[in-house]
Amino acid sequence: MRMEDSEELREALVNLRRELDILRIETTHANLLLSALDALLGANDDDDDPFKGVFAALMPVFEYEHAIVLIERGDGCEALECVASNHEALIGSAWPTDRLLQKALSGRILSTVAGSGTDTWPSGFDPEISCDQPALYFPLAVRGSRGAVILLRRLGQSGFDRSHVALARKFSLLASHAFAARQASLTQAESHRLKDLARKLEASQEALRFRANHDQLTGLPNRAYVGEIVDQMIGRKQWGEQLALAFIDLDEFKRVNDVHGHAVGDRLLQEIARRVKAEIRRNDVFGRISGDEFVIVLDPVGGQSDVAQIVERILNSIRQPLSVEGTEIRPSASIGIAFYPEHGQDYETLRRRADLAMYQAKTSAKGSLSFFTRDLGQEVDDRLVLEQRVKEAVAAGEFRCALQQKINIRTGCVVGFEALARWVDAAGVVHSPGHFLPTASRLGLLDEISAQVMEDLLQNLPALDAGFGPTIRYSINVSPAQTTSVPFMQKLLRRLSESGRAGRFILELTEESFAATGLFQTHVLPALRNAGVAISIDDFGSGYSSLAKLAELTVDELKLDRSLVSSIHRRPRNQIVLRAVESLGAALNMSIVAEGIETDEENRYLLEQTCIAIGQGFLHHRPQLLADLLGR
Amino acid sequence: MVQLRSHVAAGDVTADVLSELSAALETAPIEPDFLCVFYGCMHDDEAIWAFVRDRFPDAAILGGTSCGGVMSENGLGGEHSIGLLLVEDPDGDYGTAAVRLQGNAADCAERALHDALEAAGCAGELPELIWIYQAPGQEEAVIDGLRRVVGDRCPIIGGSSADNEVAGDWSQLGPEGLMRDGLVVGVLFSSGGIGFAFQGGYEPSGASGVVTRVGFDAAGESGIVTKAWGRQIISIDGEPAAEVYNRWLGGVLGEKMTAGSNILTDTTMFPVGVDVGKIEGITHYLLIHPDRVLEDGVLSTFAAVEEGTRLFSMRGNKSNLVERAGKVATAAISMLPGGSSSLAGGLVIYCAGCMLAVGNEMPNVSRAVSASFDGAPFLGCFTFGEQGAILGRNAHGNLMISAIAFGK
């Protein structure tokens, strides 16, 4: 799944991080509690000091300098006695029960900040202790008497925080039980109970470890754990041995989520996990590394053909239709494969390369598999070079406007032009949008390119008017992201208005833009209407084609997607769709434009079998740069 | 056992509203240890203070004005509303203290925190959460002062008191009465645990630039704080800041680019943000709300910026701001030690700027929060600045939403 909405991604990451932090903290706490409990229960005879082990167990998390265990003396004395400490000189010292100790004795756990006002601590020890040291107090009940533990950090060290307080709360309870049991010489029943407690803790620690390493939805190893396992597998490899890493990405998964909801999406992921598990071998590793991305590590493997065989089997299994809550879904996945050691020496490199191969598969044919090759690596390098060149081209203002005629196919008259972007590099080479637009879009440079193309067109408008007349209308393409960007649209509108010819422009928006039109409808559309700018839906029939949206929006023009027009004369089903769209357009008072007319047969069909008047395509006119069009 | 109740009443005459609240309090009396009171700025705040003082002499009191009134589990109260949130927690400790922010605001805040801890009977103890309400203007210094004592070991959550027109008609209400330029600090040691969250609902829109010069709008007596840190952004990437910002917005500020223009409402959907850290490579932002254009293209903001900081142009939309409130409440609840089943109720701070941007969809905001709190009592106020812990660090930002959830 490619999360388009970065807010959603950010939130998912924060939640994941929070959950992982909680798991990590809980696991650490469970470990610490187990060790401390072991130390208390494991000290067998009276000579053993159980606290030595406890102090050692607490140290890694609490990072204290001194630990002090104080117990009520029970002889009517107000002061507490230090019965254990890693600062041996303190043992036996008397501690007045001040306000903070009183709170700890009554069950409170507290961390100090400066200004506690405590100044009754015993003194004269080497090294000296100070009540200004950051401290954590917690209760330690011993059968029949109350006690407290004080952990002290060094002066200047940061104080104890909320997570320390939470851990101290757990430790306080367990240690009180364990300490009480020891004092009572460990009756069998108590010993049994404590051991039972320790077993439960171990089980919960195991469960926590599983949760930390596995994806909760599918039960598969998660990203971090897969990486760990694969690196271990690689570490065990001998010279000449190889393994294969297959990167699986479900096709159109986002659409499943959007259309059918997350519950159906989750159910699909679980089913895919089940199917793939059934196809792989016992020693292979299968994990889910994010949304709809899975990884399989095939080990051992022979050559490419062995791997291809297994992966084809997996693809076939994934392709089986699935029914979820009455909805039939036909899943498919694209898979990329990289080999150790040929394509990478570690998990991260192998994953990245298999990911690249997966993109290759997805681009050439969704639902297929592709192996990583050195050429593919080269493609990535090429992409980086292209990115740099596009950035430089934007900075140098190398983007120009090309115009393609929209003509009345019944009269042959030019009725308008569609403005298209072309990159004319320093060497005079003209690059088509297919070459640079995906890169520019990824780099966030579309707005700047649109501005350059627009400027080129506006500056040449007087000459165009002179050549083609003042009634010709110009269509401008606006991307979905631009449509929903109020500042972009406002800027565009302002520029059109400044030209004094706003009413001569048609904005071509894709159906995708209309899927999320909140801001557009409230902030932009009214202003466009006021200025006289017309709206066209571009590539109609290739996207959502929501009739509800069509009814909701007041649109002036529908441009039929070229896939509908292509070979229309010999595709009866497309002919039916075309007729339906035509009558829809007539009913909603929208002009219909047929795009992508490339052959005489297509043109003839439109002329003879439809009422469509406006057409556009290579048959009638190939886009020309303005200078060429104006004969300069 | 922690119990919460919220009561909201509204009307033009303060005495009538207080009578109504008084009657409501009789219906399900609890003895609050901690009391929050927020109200629309047109109310007679002296009467409100007298009412809460007489009615709850033993409670730690904290409150102040809220832009456009308050919200609760029963919806929006309207701009003439007064809201009370009562927290009864016999096993917890709560204390509040107030100080006027005169002189060094950081010192004032530090002093007030110690006083609040003293009032709670917890001098020298790290509270579970610090809750602050203050006059707008010196929030960063206030946070600095509080952090001197607690660092980032406990969350500092709060808001800047707000009126309806940014006309200075705000007040803060503490244990000793009202202030117009003050800070109220509350320390919470809850016996049922506390969850909290602090988030914004905006995304970067692509453009960014480095702050190359800032100035300081002298507030109070402190004058210039440092050369490198302030609420007036003079230049971004060496160009007048307002021009750069207007360019990021596609020129929407138009004729408001003249000195002295208030751009608060124009920029609520398009604030700037600063990078506060990354999780898994994804940047998180603290938001800053530009409020005015000054002489020479200087951009005035509601939060301080440091020279050398990269500012990001941010973009919001209504539906995110509506949903975000509920999500923040849910995030706070999820932090409770006992999870959502232990929820007793909560407090919500929603930026007044977001409220203006959301406009007539505000009822959906209160509905979203109510749904997250699952009907449990809460009180929400609308502020001119929000404070909270973001990625583990206490900070002041704008256009943010905070929530705290009390466990039972």
Cβ distance A161 to B154 less than 8 Å, yes or no, reads yes
Instruction: Mark whether A526 and A401 lie in a shared domain.
Output: yes
Cβ distance A7 to B124 less than 8 Å, yes or no, reads no
pLDDT > 90: percent of chain B: 65
Q: Which of A337, A372, A407 is the last residue of a domain?
A: A372
Q: Would you say residue A92 lies in a domain?
A: yes
Instruction: Mark whether A488 and A588 lie in a shared domain.
Output: yes
Distance between CA atoms of residues B141 and B350, nearest Å: 22
| A:B CB pairs within 8 Å | 95
Q: Would you say residue A132 lies in a domain?
A: yes
Instruction: Mark whether A39 and A146 lie in a shared domain.
Output: yes
Cβ distance B126 to A17 less than 8 Å, yes or no, reads no
Please list every residue in chain B whose beta carbon sits closer than 8 Å to the beta carbon of residue A494.
251
Three-state secondary-structure class, residue B309: coil
Instruction: Mark whether A203 and A233 lie in a shared domain.
Output: no
Instruction: Mark whether A426 and A575 lie in a shared domain.
Output: yes
Q: Would you say residue A408 lies in a domain?
A: yes
Cβ distance A115 to B117 less than 8 Å, yes or no, reads yes
CB B111 within 8 A of CB B183: no
Instruction: Mark whether B128 and B225 lie in a shared domain.
Output: no
CB B126 within 8 A of CB B350: no
| pLDDT computed for residue B224 by the predictor | 40
Instruction: Mark whether A195 and A311 lie in a shared domain.
Output: no
Q: Does A8 touch chain B (CB under 8 A)?
A: no
Element (H, E) at B382: strand B378-383
CB-count burial class (<10 Å; 0-12, 13-18, 19+) for A31 = middle
- Looking up residue A460, the CATH number of its domain turns out to be 3.20.20.450
Instruction: Mark whether A500 and A625 lie in a shared domain.
Output: yes
| pLDDT computed for residue A2 by the predictor | 36
| pLDDT computed for residue A333 by the predictor | 95
Tokens of A270: 């679980």
Q: Which of A333, A356, A372 is the last residue of a domain?
A: A372
Instruction: Mark whether A623 and A476 lie in a shared domain.
Output: yes
| pLDDT computed for residue A455 by the predictor | 94
Instruction: Mark whether A290 and A249 lie in a shared domain.
Output: yes
Distance between CA atoms of residues A526 and A509, nearest Å: 16
In residues, how long is chain B? 408
Instruction: Mark whether B220 and B364 lie in a shared domain.
Output: no
Distance between CA atoms of residues B183 and B171, nearest Å: 10
- Looking up residue A358, the CATH number of its domain turns out to be 3.30.70.270
Please list every residue in chain B whose beta carbon sits closer than 8 Å to the beta carbon of residue A14.
279, 284
Instruction: Mark whether B71 and B161 lie in a shared domain.
Output: yes
Q: How confident is the model at residue B33 (pLDDT cuts 50, 70, 90)?
A: very high
Distance between CA atoms of residues B109 and B147, nearest Å: 9
Compare all CA atoms of chain A with the CA of B270 and give the residue at the minimum distance.
A487
Instruction: Mark whether A90 and A227 lie in a shared domain.
Output: no
- In a mutagenesis test of the B interface, which of A26, A113, A118 is the best target, namely the one with the most B β-carbons within 10 Å? A113
Cβ distance A114 to B149 less than 8 Å, yes or no, reads yes
Model confidence over B290-348: pLDDT tens digits?
A: 999 998 899 999 888 888 889 999 988 888 888 889 999 999 998 887 778 899 999 99
Instruction: Mark whether B8 and B111 lie in a shared domain.
Output: yes
Q: Which of B272, B292, B315 is the last residue of a domain?
A: B315
Instruction: Mark whether B183 and B261 lie in a shared domain.
Output: no
Please list every residue in chain B whose beta carbon sits closer than 8 Å to the beta carbon of residue A448.
none
CB A509 within 8 A of CB B292: no
Q: Which of B267, B290, B315 is the last residue of a domain?
A: B315
Model confidence over B106-128: pLDDT tens digits?
A: 999 999 999 999 999 999 999 99
Sequence-ordered list of residues with C-beta below 8 angstroms from that of B50, at least 6 positions apart, any chain: none
Q: Would you say residue A46 lies in a domain?
A: yes
Tokens of A399: 């983007």
Q: Does A158 touch chain B (CB under 8 A)?
A: yes
Residue A197 lies in domain: 6-210
Compare all CA atoms of chain B with the CA of A5 and give the residue at the minimum distance.
B203
C-alpha atoms less than 13 angstroms from C-alpha of B384 in its C-beta half-sphere: 30
Cβ distance A116 to B125 less than 8 Å, yes or no, reads yes
Instruction: Mark whether B279 and B364 lie in a shared domain.
Output: no
Q: Which of B315, B339, B354 is the last residue of a domain?
A: B315
Instruction: Mark whether B267 and B372 lie in a shared domain.
Output: no
Q: How many domains does chain A have?
A: 3
Q: How many domains does chain B have?
A: 2
CB A63 within 8 A of CB A136: no
Please list every residue in chain B whose beta carbon sits closer than 8 Å to the beta carbon of residue A447.
206
Instruction: Mark whether B185 and B211 lie in a shared domain.
Output: no
Cβ distance A115 to B320 less than 8 Å, yes or no, reads no
Q: Does A198 touch chain B (CB under 8 A)?
A: no
| pLDDT computed for residue B216 by the predictor | 62
> Distance between the two ends of chain A, CA-based, in angstroms?
49
CB-count burial class (<10 Å; 0-12, 13-18, 19+) for A330 = exposed
Instruction: Mark whether A353 and A492 lie in a shared domain.
Output: no
Instruction: Mark whether B58 and B181 lie in a shared domain.
Output: yes
| pLDDT computed for residue A107 by the predictor | 87
Distance between CA atoms of residues A593 and A557, nearest Å: 7
Q: Would you say residue A383 lies in a domain?
A: no
- Shortest distance between the Cα of A325 and any Cα of chain B, in A, equals 26
Instruction: Mark whether A243 and A280 lie in a shared domain.
Output: yes
Q: Which of A210, A238, A263 is the last residue of a domain?
A: A210
Three-state secondary-structure class, residue A557: strand
| pLDDT computed for residue B221 by the predictor | 43
Q: Would you say residue A218 lies in a domain?
A: no
Compare all CA atoms of chain A with the CA of B266 and give the residue at the minimum distance.
A487
What integer is the mean pLDDT of B60-82? 95
Residue B346 lies in domain: 3-199+319-407
Sequence-ordered list of residues with C-beta below 8 angstroms from that of A8, at least 6 positions apart, any chain: none
Tokens of A118: 């405590």
Compare all CA atoms of chain A with the CA of B253 and give the residue at the minimum distance.
A487
Q: Would you say residue A552 lies in a domain?
A: yes
Tokens of B352: 């007044």
What integer is the mean pLDDT of B377-396? 92
Instruction: Mark whether B163 and B285 lie in a shared domain.
Output: no
Task: Output A606-611 pairs: Cβ under 8 A, ≥24 positions apart.
Answer: A606/A409, A606/A565, A606/A568, A607/A409, A607/A410, A609/A575, A610/A578, A610/A579, A610/A582, A611/A582, A611/A586
Q: Would you say residue A406 lies in a domain?
A: yes
Please list every residue in chain A whose beta carbon sits closer than 8 Å to the beta carbon of residue B125.
100, 110-113, 116
Q: Cα A588–A591–A593 angle (5° rounding)?
A: 135
Under-50 pLDDT residues of chain A:
1-4
Instruction: Mark whether B300 and B329 lie in a shared domain.
Output: no
Q: How far is CA A441 from CA A20, A381, A449, A544, B8, in A?
A: 34, 18, 10, 21, 50
Interface of B with A (CB under 8 A): 114, 117, 122-126, 128, 149-151, 153-154, 201, 203-206, 248-252, 269-270, 279-280, 282, 284, 315, 317-320, 327, 334, 337
Q: Does A14 touch chain B (CB under 8 A)?
A: yes
What ipTM was estimated for this complex?
Answer: 0.84
